[in-house]
Amino acid sequence: MIKKEKMIQNLYSRIRDIDHIGWYDKNNIGIILPYTSTEGVDGFVRSILQSITEVKQDIKYISYKYPPDKKSITENTAE
């Protein structure tokens, strides 16, 4: 299983200077991706999941969009 440190390092290598990453709680990571479309967020998540194939079946993610619209909240499970 991938270690938390390796996963965080992987995430940091993929974010931009304007993005923010941190622990939401003990088992959840929060990432803020300003000026990113819903499709951009989905692509970001897919690229992370491809790099951590050992644990991706255990990963669930929720994306929130601001300002909100009809697709403001998206819940997904890694397949």
For the stretch 26-71, pLDDT in tens is 878 889 999 888 888 888 888 888 877 665 566 777 888 777 766 6
For the stretch 4-15, pLDDT in tens is 677 778 888 989
C-alpha pair distances (Å), 48 with each of 8, 27, 70: 10, 17, 26
Tell me how crowded residue 76 is: count the other CB atoms within 10 A of its CB: 14
SS (H, E, C) 24-63: EECCEEEEECCCCCHHHHHHHHHHHHHHCCCCHHHCEEEE
Q: What is the pTM (predicted TM-score) of this model? A: 0.71
**Could you tell me the residue ranges of all domains in the chain?**
4-77
Both tokens assigned to 75: 């819940």
